[in-house]
């Protein structure tokens, strides 16, 4: 990978000066969906696929970006002075946003950079290509400019930039999972206070298989922000009868006791998902610690059903993949992962059944949707690194 990047970098930006290569992973969330902005728990892990950057500092203030994934866009140029969001700057608004956020938080970035990016996370798949790029940028800046910043702060800056620069009201999960990834472990994160613990992913003879709908989506223009505001409305109604700061503070019983306070039925459904999904996530991690993979799989299925029926973020593509996955031999569980509205599902499958699983689910999906799904057998990897 280093040689491929170097060749492209020299072709685009010339061979002079010292370059460095960095990597940040993508992530998949095993359970705990749409809980992260509701003060609940999530259970994501970093992957071994991700985003690479070759970077060289400049003497002036120019930022020159080039992506091997979007070669037709060529070099996109900005400056570290007066960074603003521009539609025509396309994907570079993510790294630009992180540089802007660093400056807003008082970190000194005094020169520009030449950057070549390559990602092997499918774009728009829900495996967090944007958060991977944000955390990667923060990690690059920490290294190149010797910034006194830890990985949790880099995750928070990534979230801040996505919220305030790119206008997507995302929670902290994606950036946190990527920044804090640990090989063969998922992260049990309480998004209310950022307390976390690593939980070993011991799958014995089983594999994590990601199923990509190949339906492209963009978070900013999806119904993501709408779902978030429906949860905020539900919380606001509940606060008239119970003293809470977030939906994640409620047990299922407390929710059932107080749900009458939520005036709109649609908000009641959204809040029910947030509360029940948080409890499912807590139960799933306890099951994994006990080695009860069967229960973990059952909770994954319940999670998908709730995302389909109460949160209404799945759609025909994801529902088809999950329904077909659950018909296959050796499948413990399957659910949509990420924001929904397309993107990916995740399943846990017996290793010896993986090939048949991919073939059968792929065939059924293509027959129903008219186009193919993609499948990735993934490993759980570490957070960002210098290569």
User: Residue 58: which pLDDT band, with cuts at 50, 70 and 90?
Assistant: very high
Topology of the domain covering 2-201: Ribosomal Protein S5; domain 2 (3.30.230)
Q: How confident is the model at residue 221, as a pLDDT?
A: 52
Position 279 pLDDT exceeds 50: yes
Q: How confident is the model at residue 220, as a pLDDT?
A: 47
Name the CA radius of gyration of the chain, rounded.
21
Question: CB under 8 Å to 329, separation ≥6 — which residues?
Answer: 350, 353, 356, 357
User: Residue 74: which pLDDT band, with cuts at 50, 70 and 90?
Assistant: very high
Question: CB under 8 Å to 242, separation ≥6 — which residues?
Answer: 250, 254, 258, 261
Q: How confident is the model at residue 316, as a pLDDT?
A: 94
Mean pLDDT of 269-275: 98
State phi, psi for 57 to the nearest 5 degrees: -70, 150
Mean pLDDT of 48-76: 97
- For the chain, the average pLDDT equals 94
| Summary count for the chain: helices (H), strands (E) | 11, 13
Asked if 372 and 214 count as a contact pair (C-beta separation under 8 A), the reply is: yes
Asked if 55 and 24 count as a contact pair (C-beta separation under 8 A), the reply is: no
Q: Which of 114, 174, 190, 350 is catalytic?
A: 174
Nearest to 135 by CA among 121, 152, 122, 148: 152
Position 216 pLDDT exceeds 70: no
Question: CB under 8 Å to 115, separation ≥6 — which residues?
Answer: 53, 54, 55, 63, 64, 65, 66, 95, 140
Asked if 34 and 313 count as a contact pair (C-beta separation under 8 A), the reply is: yes
Q: How confident is the model at residue 363, as a pLDDT?
A: 98
Six-digit token string for 310: 């109460």
Position 190 pLDDT exceeds 90: yes
- 174 an active-site residue? yes
Instruction: Quick: pLDDT tens for 329-339.
Output: 999 999 999 88
Position 110 pLDDT exceeds 90: yes
Q: Please tell me the distance from the alpha carbon of residue 373 to that of residue 246, in angstroms, as a whole number.
A: 37
Six-digit token string for 324: 């077909």
What pTM value is reported for the model?
Answer: 0.91
Q: How confident is the model at residue 121, as a pLDDT?
A: 86
Burial class (CB in 10 A: 0-12, 13-18, 19+), 96: buried
Q: How confident is the model at residue 218, as a pLDDT?
A: 56
Residue 190 CA, distance from chain mean position? 16
Which residue pairs from 193-199 have beta carbons closer than 8 angstroms and sit at least 24 positions apart in sequence? 194/152, 199/43, 199/285, 199/288, 199/289
Domain ranges, ordered by start, for the chain: 2-201
Q: How confident is the model at residue 148, as a pLDDT?
A: 97
Q: What is the largest CA-CA distance in the chain?
A: 67
Q: How confident is the model at residue 86, as a pLDDT?
A: 96
DSSP H or E segment with residue 57: strand 44-57
Burial class (CB in 10 A: 0-12, 13-18, 19+), 144: middle
């Amino acid at each position: 990978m280093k040689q491929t990047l170097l060749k492209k970098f020299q072709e685009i930006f010339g061979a002079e000066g010292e370059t460095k290569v960095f990597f940040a992973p993508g992530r998949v969330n095993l359970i705990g969906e749409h809980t992260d902005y509701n003060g609940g728990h999530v259970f994501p892990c970093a992957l071994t696929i991700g985003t690479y950057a070759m970077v060289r500092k400049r003497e002036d203030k120019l930022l020159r970006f080039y992506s091997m994934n979007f070669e037709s866009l060529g070099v996109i140029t900005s400056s570290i002075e007066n960074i603003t969001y521009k539609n025509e700057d396309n994907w570079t608004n993510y790294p630009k946003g992180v540089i802007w956020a660093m400056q807003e938080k008082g970190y000194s970035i005094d020169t520009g950079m030449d950057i070549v990016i390559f990602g092997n996370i499918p774009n728009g798949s829900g495996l967090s290509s944007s958060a991977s790029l944000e955390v990667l940028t923060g990690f690059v800046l920490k290294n190149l400019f010797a910034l006194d910043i830890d990985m949790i702060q880099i995750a928070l800056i990534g979230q801040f930039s996505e919220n305030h620069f790119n206008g997507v009201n995302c929670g902290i999960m994606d950036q946190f999972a990527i920044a804090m990834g640990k090989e063969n472990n998922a992260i049990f994160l309480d998004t209310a206070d950022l307390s976390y613990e690593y939980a070993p992913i011991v799958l014995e003879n089983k594999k994590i298989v990601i199923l990509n709908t190949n339906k492209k989506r963009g978070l900013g223009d999806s119904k993501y922000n709408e779902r978030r505001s429906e949860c905020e409305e539900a919380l606001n109604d509940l606060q008239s009868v119970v003293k809470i700061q977030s939906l994640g503070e409620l047990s299922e019983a407390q929710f059932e006791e107080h749900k009458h306070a939520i005036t709109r039925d649609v908000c009641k459904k959204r809040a029910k998902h947030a509360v029940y999904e948080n409890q499912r996530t807590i139960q799933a991690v306890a099951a994994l610690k006990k080695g009860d993979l069967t229960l973990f799989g059952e909770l994954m299925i319940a999670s998908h059903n709730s995302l389909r029926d109460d949160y209404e973020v799945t759609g025909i593509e994801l529902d088809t993949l999950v329904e077909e996955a659950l018909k296959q031999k050796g499948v413990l569980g399957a659910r949509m992962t990420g924001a929904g509205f397309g993107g990916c599902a995740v399943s846990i499958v017996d290793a010896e059944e993986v090939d048949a699983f991919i073939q059968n689910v792929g065939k059924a999906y293509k027959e129903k949707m008219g186009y193919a799904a993609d499948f990735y057998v993934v490993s759980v990897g570490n957070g960002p690194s210098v290569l």
